[in-house]
Each structure stands twice: as C-alpha cells, then as structure tokens.
A and B are shown apart, each in its own frame.
Chain A
Amino acid sequence: MDRDRALALLHDMLLGRKFEERCAREYMNGNIAGFLHLYPGEEAVAVGVIHACEASDYIVSTYREHVHALVRGVPAGEVMAELFGKRTGCSRGMGGSMHLFDPERRFMGGYAIVGETYPVAIGLAYGIAMRNLPEAVICFFGDGAVNQGTFHESLNMAALWKLPVLFVCENNQYAIGTEVHRHSAVPEVYKRAAAYRIPTERVDGMDVLAVHKATEHALRQIRAGTGPWLLECLTYRFRGHSMADPGHYRPPVEVKAHQRIDPLELALRELSPIYPTPEQIAAAGPDAILKLRQYCSDQGHLPDEDFRQLEAQVDAEVEAAVRFALESPEPSLEDAWQALLANRRGETLL
C-alpha cells in the first residue's frame, strides 16, 4: 500500500477515534442526548471497507455509524451538528446519532431497528440491477442482527436475483450484553452465508489492511455480476454498547486484551516490512496512540514530527466540528413539518 493511501486510512482511523471520544465528552456536557453508540475499537472495519468503495456505491449502516459517515466524507461538522440536534446537521436535526443521512454522498442512513439494513440495501441493489449499473451497496450489520428474520429473507433474495450487495458483519462479539456464543447456535456468521450460496470471507476486523483487501476483492466479484458477498469482520468495541452501558458483562481482562490489539496499532504493523515481536508490543504499552507513533517512526512512514502534525490536524478538525455544532441554530417546528412534507411537492391538503 502506498504512503498516501496508508496515511489516509490512518487519518480516518484517528479522526474516528478522536471524534467518538469527544462525543462521549459532549454527551456528558449535555450537548448530545438520546442514545449514543460509540465506535472505538472497530475503526478498521468502517475505514477498511469504505476506503475500498467507489463514490457511486451506496452505504447502508446501523445506529453505530458516526465513523462510517465521517469516512464516507460527510463533514465532521455536519455529523456533530446532527448529534447536537442542530438545523445544520446532515439530517437537519431530525435524525440524531442513530439516523445520519447524506444522499449526495450516497450515505443512505443509519438504521436503529436491528435487522433493517438488509432490506433497504437489497432495495437499492435491486434498483442498480434493474438499471444495469456498475454500482454496489455496502450493508453493515452487527453480529446481533443475524438472528433477525430479515437477515435470512434478504440474503435469500439477494442471492436469488444476484443483487450487487456486500454484506459486512461487524462482529464485535456482543449483542448489547449477550456474547455471540450465547445468542447464536452458529457463532461464526460467515458460515450462515453458505445457506444462501453467498461467497464469504472471515477477516480480522482489527486489521484495516486485511479488511480493505477483502473488500476490494469482494467488490470486484460483485461488479462482475456474480451476486452478493458476505464479509465477517471480527472486531471489538472498547466501550459499552452505548453511553448508558458500563459494559460490566465483559471481564476487564478481555477488554484489556483487545485493547492490546488496537486496530490503529495493527494498521501500522501492516505497514511495517518487519512484524514487531510480542516483546515490542508489550514494550509499547497499552496506549494505542503511543504505539502507533512508535511504529510509524520505526517504519519511516511517519516521522514523529509528521505524526504530531497529523494528530494536531485531527484535533483541530474535531474542535472545529464541535464549534460548528455549538454555533449552529436550532431547527424550528416549521423545519420539522418541512421534513415530513417535502415529498408532497407543494400539494395542498385539507
């Protein structure tokens, strides 16, 4: 992977991490309300997958989708403003954290009912297939969502009609507080694809380059007209399910163990010609950002100076996003009616 692409991945992962940590702070400040599901730990999936897409592909995501939107290019200010419920938010303050939309960037939404992303995705894919376009749809879902009926219904239809969909399972191993082996008879999600003869691959979802590579491969097949693919990305969220969830159901040692394989660190390991030894990893300590810096300078991709610059740049982006959100106006009830009646095209009713 060339340096520019690698740095772009790094930038987005760093942005995703810092944006989410800032969201937690703003939630506690009272600027963000409602349900807030954060992404730290899973960045390699959104970054790896979406960087492998074309701008003409559609993204359908879940309620833990801030980072997907950011990676897709939705301005951080518009995402933060939406979380703040402001008029300048990407959903005009009507959607909030779980419902980010940006039709221009074909970011087709965050969906808050588990299992909803599949039918929406196959609908978009149906339109693409009907019109015979070289586009594809990326459908994100979690490991908890594979037990909804829509998973089976939609995979069946996608396979039956060879629809251009890439199903991406972000398997963070917990359906809120229920671990995957306690909610699924077959805990390996990729095995379920076989039931619909959908080609599949299980990848290390903490490894952004592996995810990126697998996505590129799958999308090539999909664009060749072979029908859907399913990618299972094994990942882990460092925080609880939502801000309201302390995550006590997970042994601290498990969380710590996953934090030691922070995807940011792994990203750099992939960039390195020589894999670090376990001793090196241990020496780097638990702070992923420190490790990242260490490996970057080790590999010569990112001298300390440049990394500090990148970090400062991301900090400034997040800060600007918060300022934009704070300074933006509240939507009016009139705006809400406008959002509801936009499709009425001015037709006057009684």
Chain B
Amino acid sequence: MAEKIRYWQALNRALDELLAADENVFILGEDVGLYGGSYRVTEGLYAKYGEWRVRDTPISEDSFTGLGVGAALMGLRPVVEIMTINFALLALDAIINLAAKVPFMAGGRLPMGLTIRTPGGVARQLAAQHSQRLEHTLMNVPGLRIVVPSTPQDAYWQLKQAVLSDEPVVVLEHELLYFHEGPLDPAAPPPPPHRAIVRRRGRDLTLVAYSKMALLAQEAAERLGEQGIEAEVVDLRSLSPIDWNTCAASVARTHRLLVVEEDCRFAGAGAEIAAGLTERCFTRLEAAPMRLAGLDIPTPYNGTLEARTIPQVDDIVAAARKLVKEGS
C-alpha cells in the first residue's frame, strides 16, 4: 500500500529499518545525532539507537569519511552523511583514494560496505560555494557507485540497497527534493539500484535526466504533450553505472536525445550521457544529441540570476521544441 511521504521521511524510514535490522550499520556525520540532521533525515534515530550507532562528528569531513572507510574494512556498514557535496571536496581523499581504491589495491580481499549520503545542487540562493553539482568528479572514479534518486520511493529503496551493498555507494540527494512529497510503497519490489526508469512514454524525443531535473523533465513533457510533442522521459536513477540499455532503447525509438542536467555543461555528467548514447545509437539519430545544462559559471547569489544559470521547465520545453523541429 502506497502512502504519501516526503523524501526526507523516506530516507529516515530506510535508515531506521536498516539500523534495526543490522547492528553493523551505523551513521555518522555532522549534526546527525542530537540535532537530527540538517535536513531531518536522521531525526529521532539518535534517541532510538544511541550515540555509537548515530554519531555526531566534529567538522572533519576527510577524517570522518575515512573513519567510515576504516570501519567498512572490518565488515561494518557505515552510513556517512556529508552535509552538502560542497564539503565533500574536503573528503575526496577518503572517497577517491580510499573507498574506491583500497578493496582493489588489496586484490579484492577487503569489503567496502560504505555509503556516503550527500545533497548537492542549486537550492535557494546559497551562492557559489554551496550550490555545486559534483557528480562528474565522482563519475570519473572507477570503484564508486552513484545513485541519484528523484522520488521518495527511490530514495527509500536505493538508500537501502546502497547500505546493504559491499561496494562503496554515493547517494546523491538534492536539497530541493527533501521536502518533495510522493508515494512510498515499501512492499513493492524495487528495481536494481542502477536501473533507469521510463517515467513517461513518448515517440518524438527522449529526455534523459536525473535527480531534481527528472521531475522538471516530466513537467516539461506534460507541457510538450499539450503542444502535440510527445517526449519520453528517462529518469536515470544511477550515474555509475548508467543503464545504457534503457536509454538506448528509448533513443532508438524516438531518434532524438535531449539530456537535461543541472551540472555545469562543460565536461559534466551530460557529456558522458550524450557521448555514450551517440556511440550506442549513432545510426538511429535524426539530429545531434542536445545537452541542456547549467551554465559554466559559478552560481550567483542573486535569485533571478541563479535561476537563469540552470535549466527551468520553460527551457526544457524550448530546447525540446527546437530539437524536434530540426529538419522536420
């Protein structure tokens, strides 16, 4: 039975159930305990499971993420919350040099059941240092898996799957999704964590998006539908690995690809998606793939400018219309 629930509540419920089911699971991060998490994701868990299972850390991103790595080496399942992905830059050594490398360098003889939860993306006027999208940085690291849930249902299941995996998984959340409401049906069997989902069927073009942009793409697709353009929307759900089959099957049907990403355009996630699908669908394309992305500019504080630097629903509609019109 599905119930309406907020994104943060879905994450909270998943963590609660994980902590209850497996004593190897523990949470650590800044203000995850007594305070309940800066986006309420760990609310109530400290009181229920105690300080060793839900650990408030000092502001030491590199070391507490590395602590998670060390604990994972002995078979524990740490869930590290990094308050925003902007702070994860301080922990890149732990993520890239340790979590992604140690099991490999040990010849595959050590587990790495580490989960890193962190929100990214442009929220509301947080300025350049607090508005980054760094998925491209992590996508380029073999040995890491990256999931990007856009709905409460996916947030719940993909977090659970991440924690139960022996591979290091980064769960990229979005600051503007936490308060987003949607159905959660914990009984519905989840798809594999890396599987993309076709959120809407269409024949005229394929919109590939993820995280918050997947929701915007669906909104744009409805608007396009009213204008007689039927857009298919693929929500990637995972950025590493990418479900090429689902994407390629869609592009092969629609012959046109529009990638929508909040990430900066230059060498962003969309570049990989466009290149990967061009390689796979070259002979099925009727137009060059198009990337609608964030501008290559640090995010300005001013709200109007901020909105203009990342794709909005109107932009997706306009870009889709241009793409469909090309040559027809």
Contact = CB atoms under 8 A, between A and B. Distances in A.
A and B in direct contact, judged by CB atoms within 8 A: yes
Given A124-B74, A339-B104, A339-B108, A153 B60 contact: yes
B63 A154 contact: yes
B44 interface: no
Contacts of B162: none
Which residue among B67, B165, B244 has the maximum number of chain A CB atoms within 10 Å of its CB?
A: B67
A123 interface: yes
Interface in B308-328: none
Interface string B44-62: 0000000011010110101
Nearest to A137: B70
A120 to B, nearest CB: 4
A120 B98 contact: yes
A95 B106 contact: yes
A157 B106 contact: no
Interface in A41-96: 58, 60, 89-95
Interface in A295-350: 338-345, 347, 349-350
Contacts of A221: none
A126 B104 CA distance: 23
Interface in B17-64: 26, 52-53, 55, 57-58, 60, 62-64
Given A116-B66, A124-B74, A101 B98 contact: no
B215 interface: no
Interface size class of B (residues with CB under 8 A): 35 or more
A23 interface: no
A160 B55 CA distance: 12
Nearest to A148: B62
B97 A130 contact: no
Interface string A121-134: 11111110110000
Contacts of A344: 166-167
B97 A123 contact: no
A101 B109 contact: yes
A94 B106 contact: yes
A160 B71 contact: no
Interface string B74-114: 10101000000000000001100110001111111111110
A39 interface: no
User: A58, A109, A344, A349: which has the most chain B beta carbons within 10 Å?
Assistant: A349
B142 interface: yes
A37 interface: no
A118 interface: yes
B65 interface: yes
B68 interface: yes
Given A157-B64, A160-B58, A121 B106 contact: no
B167 A119 contact: no
B272 interface: no
A152 to B, nearest CB: 8
A119 B67 contact: yes
Given A119-B70, A120-B66, A350 B58 contact: no
A101 B78 CA distance: 21
Contact of B73 (A90, A108, A156, A157): A108
A116 B192 CA distance: 33
B194 interface: yes
Nearest to B113: A343
A63 to B, nearest CB: 12
B243 interface: yes
B69 interface: yes
A119 B90 CA distance: 13
A332 to B, nearest CB: 13
Contact of A340 (B60, B74, B98, B104): B104
Given A99-B105, A108-B73, 7 more contacts: A127-B74, A127-B76, A130-B53, A153-B64, A154-B60, A342-B109, A343-B103
Interface of A: 58, 60, 89-95, 99, 101, 103, 108-109, 111, 113, 116, 118-127, 129-130, 149-150, 153-154, 156-157, 160-161, 338-345, 347, 349-350
17 contacts: A60-B70, A91-B105, A95-B106, A99-B105, A99-B106, A119-B98, A123-B68, A124-B74, A156-B60, A157-B58, A157-B60, A160-B58, A339-B104, A341-B108, A343-B113, A343-B165, A343-B166
Interface of B: 26, 52-53, 55, 57-58, 60, 62-74, 76, 78, 93-94, 97-98, 102-113, 142-143, 165-167, 192, 194, 241-245
9 closest A-B pairs by CB: A123-B70, A119-B66, A92-B107, A342-B108, A153-B60, A153-B63, A101-B106, A339-B108, A343-B166
